[in-house]
Every structure is written in C-alpha cells, then in structure tokens.
C-alpha cells in the first residue's frame, strides 16, 4: 500500500496518539518513498495538514528539522522551508519556537548559492508580515541569516532588524531584544557603538519590564565588544539605570548577571560602580533579588581587591546571614565558601570561618547542606591546626543531624578530608565517626558509609584497613541488631574488590561464612549475594573447601529468596 496514503489515513484519524505516532514515523516513510517522492508527494501533503492540535504540530516541527537527508541532502534543503515557515507563524509559542529551531537547523545546511534566493526571501516574508507571530519568528532566525549573508546584504538586514526593535508590539520587541545579544557577537566594535548601543539604551527604557530585563544580557554582550574606556562611558550608565528599575524582575536580572558584568567590565569599573549596585541589590526589598545577589558574592569578589572585600563584602555577608528569608540564606550558603580562595587563609581564619560556622548552625537543613557539600572549597586554604580547631567540631556535630541528607553530605566529604588530615590525625579525630555511619537507621547512609570505607582504604592502604577497620567489622558482624550484621556484608562486598586476595580469604571470608548460619533470612540472602561478588576475587581450593559447601547448604534453605540467590552465586563459581 502507498506509504503516503497510509499517512493520510492515519493523520485523519480522530485518535491524537495515532496522529502523533504517524508524525514520529515520517523519517521511515520518507525513506520508503525516496527523496523525489518525498518532495513531490509527502511535503505538499504535510503543508496542507497543518490545521491540527498543537501537540501534533510541535512533533511535526521537530521532525522536519531532521529531514534534510530525506529530501535529497543540502541541495534540496530549501524544500523544507515552506512547511516550517507556516509552523513558525503558529499562535502557540512552543510550536513557533520549535519551528524556528528547526528552521535554523535547515538554513544552516543550505548552500551559499541557494541562500539568498530562498532564505533571505523567507526572512523578508516573516518580518514583513502583519502577524506578530511571524515577526517574532523572523527575529529568531535573524542572527543565523545575518552570519551567512553577504556583506552587501548585511547593511540592509541591520536596518530591518532596527525596525523590529522599534515595533509597536511588545512581543516583537521582546524577541528582537532576545536576539540582539546574539547579533552583537557577529558585529564589529565600530558597528556595535554606531548602531547597537542605541538599541540597547532604548530597550533599557522600554515600557515593558519583560523587554527591559532582557536588555541586561544585551548590555553584557555589548560590554564584551567595547574597551574599558568605552564601557565606562556607555555600558556603565545602562547598567546603573537598569539596577534602579522600578520592576524587581529587572533588578533581579542585573543581580543574576552580576558575575558576567564584573568579568566583562573589569576591576576598575567593578570597584567604583558595580560594587555599590551589588551592595544595594543584596539588601533589596524583594526576596528574589536578594537571592540572586547572594549567589554572586564570590563572582563579583574575584574582581575586587582583598581590602575592598574586607571592608564592603564581608559586612554585607554578615548582614545577609540573618536575612529573614531562608532562600536568601540558602543561596548565600551555596556561594560563600568559594570566597576562601579569593581572600586567602588569613581572612578566612579571621572572619570567613565565623560566617561558615554560623551557617552550619542555621535552622534550615538546606542551608547546612549547601555549606557541607562545598567544604572542599575552603579546606585547602585552612592549615591543619585551623581545620582541627574550627571545622572538625562542627563536622562531628553535624554527623548527628536530624536530616539524613545532611549526614549523607558529611559522609561524602570525609574521604576528601582524610587526604588532607593524614592517617594519624584521621584515626584520632574522624575514624570512629566514619564507623558509626555503618549503623545509621537510614539505608542510604549505611550504603554511603560502606563506599566510604572503600575510599578510605584506597587512601590509607591495606595495613590501615587490617589494623583499624577489620576489628570493627568483625565486631559489627556479632552485633545483636541485624542491621549492623547486614551492613558488615555490604562493607565486605564493597571493599573486597580492592584488597589483596589473601586478605579477603584469611580475614573477610570467615566472617561471611559465619553469617551464613544466621537466624535472619535477610542476612543469609545477603551472604549469598556477597559470595557471588567474591567469585570474582576468590578461587582455588578455598572455593571447594568453604564456599561451595555453604552455598549448597543455602540451596536447601527454608526461605525461597535465599535459595534463589544461593543458586546464582553457585553458578558464578561453577563458571570460573
């Protein structure tokens, strides 16, 4: 049966799922038809079938973006522009955006000799339409078309784009502003100063805050094209205006772009002009603005001197630590530790550690969690003495935190801390703590603790494991609580993969064999699982002497799950 007739039948079906499946099978259908029939039969039919549910149109817009090879390659890619142009005019934004994305994918493959004939005409039709949807689509493909256009055509295109930036419809201006930052990257500095700066200034004064907030990112793009003196004369004023905007959404965007602005504008402008803006935004009346500013503390500080940080940024941090919004404190906690490498060890010990320890005592678990998960940023800056004096007591305290995610972060941080402390210091201060996690009431904590033992063994070596960890594992295997005994098996399964075979056979295997007669079925089940893992480690006479007899016994266990895993383990050894 003709594939096109099948497609026609399915696309007329009332079942939307069937229509969607048909669209997603277009590539298969076009393969069956071949390039010529795809162009002459399939594409015209699709162009006439664009009156459908948005979900179907979205799927079609996505598929057509991958269709170049099925219409005959790059030389025939322009045949896809027709249906995609119609989809790009759709009222539904998601359909329109996907169509623009696919248009860009297709346009990028059209050869230069066909570009002006097909692509420039498409752009002119879109931006010349009375429909705002078409104009916004035209904005979306504008940077790509400009980058591929001849130099003689680029001047005309810039004039066309200026008209889009001055459109009455806010949606069109918004789309133009979004794409201006992309267009600026393609322009020479002289053109940016001559044409683009004025457009950004107008966007910064637009009556719609949805346009003004986008002007912030445009200002960043312009700043990258200008030198420091030009930025001082041009970009600085734009940012100051936007930072004082009456709309919190615009101020939020300034705060959110603070790191990029600081990096682009440089040290001098950051210290003289951006810093006062930042200090004002981090105390803004709107929570969202303060959140954005609090997450950029380290970003702006990288372009400030240590003296300025100590005088201005650190007091601002101290005030933010007591912010009434937990979201602000959470944002601060996610960023503040990066400041340690900026200010150095002296100020970290003198001031920053006080702030870090204060956040570690915050009543909100997410605040504590954000600090703990980033402690690796501050420990290289601290000396061993300061680490032991300031940070370790807080870590020990948080190891008993009510929130299990906080305890989990402490566990994940321990191996890194071990590398810095050294074996003797670790044994004295944190080794017992690492073992207590093996008995935690939360499974994820116990699992992470067993992985921790493996990482610590890799760091300190087999002798450390035998002298310090092995006795504790042996004690756990005899604990009255079955959770401790089962964790012993998890630990052995994990650590046996990195220990010498002789250590596993002489020290760990006897513990496993002894637990094979445990009265709890779940223990015996995990003994079978553990032995299966050991099949990749243990071999020779010890298998016949100790392991297979135990597995044969477990094959007759009253519990069927124990029998099942014992059988799998035995098969593993039989394959050796």
DSSP per-residue letters across 331-364:
HHHHHGGGHHHHH-HHHIIIIIHHHHHHHHT-SS
**pLDDT tens for each residue of 258-271:** 999 999 999 999 99
CA 102-103-106 angle, 5° bins: 85
pLDDT computed for residue 109 by the predictor: 92
Q: Residue 52: its pLDDT value, please?
A: 75
CATH 3.40.630.30 fits 188-303, yes or no: no
Tens digits of residue pLDDT in 31-44: 878 888 888 888 88
Report which of 393, 406, 395, 417 is spatially closest to residue 448, judged by C-alpha positions.
406
Q: Which tens digit of pLDDT belongs to each residue from 320-370? A: 999 999 999 999 999 999 999 999 988 998 899 899 989 988 888 889 888
Q: What gap in Å lies between CA 371 and CA 405, rounded to an integer?
A: 12
For the chain, where do the domains classified as CATH 1.25.10.10 start and end?
Answer: 188-303, 305-398, 469-576
Q: How far apart are CA 81 and CA 203, in angstroms?
A: 31
What does the pLDDT average to over 51-68? 87
Concatenated DSSP letters for 199-246?
A: HHHHHHT-S-HHHHHHHHHHHHHHHHHS-HHHHHHTHHHHHHHHHT-S
Name the pTM for this structure: 0.77
Q: What CATH number does domain 469-576 carry, 1.25.10.10, 1.20.1050.140, 3.30.750.210, 3.90.1150.10? A: 1.25.10.10
pLDDT band of 390, cuts 50, 70, 90? confident
Q: What is the phi/psi pair of residue 14, to 5°? A: -70, -20
pLDDT at res. 186: 93
Tracing tokens 């069109």 back to the chain, one arrives at 172
Top pLDDT among 236 and 1 is at 236
Tell me the HSE value of 364 on the side-chain side, using a 13 A CA sphere.
Answer: 18
Q: Per-residue confidence at 391, pLDDT binned at 50, 70, 90?
A: confident
Instruction: Please name the fold of domain 305-398.
Output: 1.25.10
pLDDT exceeding 90 applies to what percent of the chain?
A: 51
Tell me what the mean pLDDT of segment 114-118 comes to. Answer: 88
State residue 21's pLDDT score: 81
Q: What is the pLDDT of residues 495-511, one digit of tens each?
A: 988 888 888 888 998 99
Neighbours of 503 (CB within 10 A): 16
Q: DSSP string covering 438-484, please?
A: GG-SSHHHHHHHHHHHHHHHHHH-HHHIIIIIHHHHHHHTT-SSHHH
**pLDDT at residue 9 tops 80:** no
pLDDT of residue 434: 79
Q: What is the pLDDT of residue 221?
A: 94
* pLDDT for res 123: 93
Q: Which of 115-124, 144-153, 381-390 has the lowest mean pLDDT?
A: 381-390
pLDDT at 3: 64
- In sequence order, the 6+-apart residues with CB closer than 8 A to the CB of 234 are 193, 197, 222, 226
pLDDT given at position 484: 86
Q: pLDDT of 282-321, one tens digit each?
A: 999 999 999 999 999 999 999 999 999 999 999 999 999 9
- At 319 the pLDDT is 95
Paired tokens of 431: 């080794």
For 301, the token pair is 């500080």
């Amino acid at each position: 049966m003709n594939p096109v007739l099948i497609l026609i039948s399915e696309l007329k079906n009332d079942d939307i799922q069937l229509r969607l499946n048909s669209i997603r099978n277009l590539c298969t259908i076009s393969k069956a038809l071949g390039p010529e029939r795809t162009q002459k039969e399939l594409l015209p039919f699709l162009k006439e079938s664009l009156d459908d549910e948005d979900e179907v149109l979205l799927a079609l817009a996505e598929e057509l973006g991958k269709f170049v090879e099925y219409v005959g390659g790059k030389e025939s890619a322009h045949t896809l522009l027709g249906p995609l142009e119609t989809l790009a005019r759709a009222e539904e934004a998601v359909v329109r955006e996907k169509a623009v994305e696919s248009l860009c994918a297709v346009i990028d493959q059209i050869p230069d000799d066909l570009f002006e004939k097909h692509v420039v005409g498409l752009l002119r039709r879109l931006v010349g339409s009375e429909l705002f949807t078409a104009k916004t689509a035209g904005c979306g493909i504008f940077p790509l078309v400009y980058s591929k256009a001849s130099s003689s055509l680029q001047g005309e295109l810039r004039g066309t784009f200026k008209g889009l930036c001055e459109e009455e419809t806010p949606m069109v201006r918004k789309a133009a502003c979004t794409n201006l930052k992309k267009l600026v990257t393609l322009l020479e500095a002289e053109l940016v100063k001559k044409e683009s700066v004025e457009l950004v200034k107008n966007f910064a004064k637009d009556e719609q805050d949805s346009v003004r907030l986008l002007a912030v990112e445009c200002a960043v793009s312009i700043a990258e094209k200008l030198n420091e003196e030009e930025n001082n004369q041009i970009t600085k004023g734009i940012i100051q205006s936007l930072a004082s905007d009456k709309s919190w959404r615009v101020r939020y965007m300034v705060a959110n772009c603070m790191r990029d602005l600081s990096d682009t504008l440089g040290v001098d402008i950051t210290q003289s002009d951006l810093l006062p803006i930042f200090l004002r935004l981090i105390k803004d009346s709107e929570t969202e603005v303060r959140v954005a500013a609090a997450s950029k503390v380290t970003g702006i500080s990288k372009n400030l001197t240590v003296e300025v940080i100590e005088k201005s940024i650190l007091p601002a941090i101290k005030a933010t630590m007591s912010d009434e919004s937990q979201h602000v404190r959470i944002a601060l906690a996610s960023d503040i530790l990066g400041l340690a490498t900026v200010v150095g060890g002296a100020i970290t010990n003198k001031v920053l550690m006080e702030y870090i320890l204060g956040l570690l005592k915050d009543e909100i678990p997410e605040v504590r969690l954000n600090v703990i998960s980033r402690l690796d940023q501050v420990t290289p800056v601290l000396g061993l003495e300061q680490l032991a004096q300031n940070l370790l007591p807080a870590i020990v305290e948080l190891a008993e935190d009510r929130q299990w995610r906080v305890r989990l972060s402490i566990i994940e941080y321990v191996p890194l801390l071990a590398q810095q402390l050294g074996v003797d210091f670790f044994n004295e201060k944190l080794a017992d703590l690492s073992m207590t996690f093996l008995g935690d009431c939360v499974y994820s904590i116990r699992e992470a603790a067993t992985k921790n033992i493996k990482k610590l063994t890799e760091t300190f070596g087999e002798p450390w494991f035998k002298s310090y960890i092995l006795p504790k594992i042996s004690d756990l295997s005899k604990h009255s609580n079955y959770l401790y005994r089962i964790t012993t098996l998890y630990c052995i399964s994990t650590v046996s993969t990195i220990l010498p075979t002789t250590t596993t056979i002489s020290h760990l295997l006897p513990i496993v064999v002894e637990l094979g007669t445990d009265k709890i079925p779940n223990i015996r089940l995990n003994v079978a699982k553990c032995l299966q893992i050991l099949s990749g480690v243990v071999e020779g006479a010890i298998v016949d002497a100790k392991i297979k007899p135990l597995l044969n016994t477990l094959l007759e266990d009253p519990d069927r799950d124990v029998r099942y895993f014992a059988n799998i383990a035995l098969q593993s050894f039989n394959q050796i």
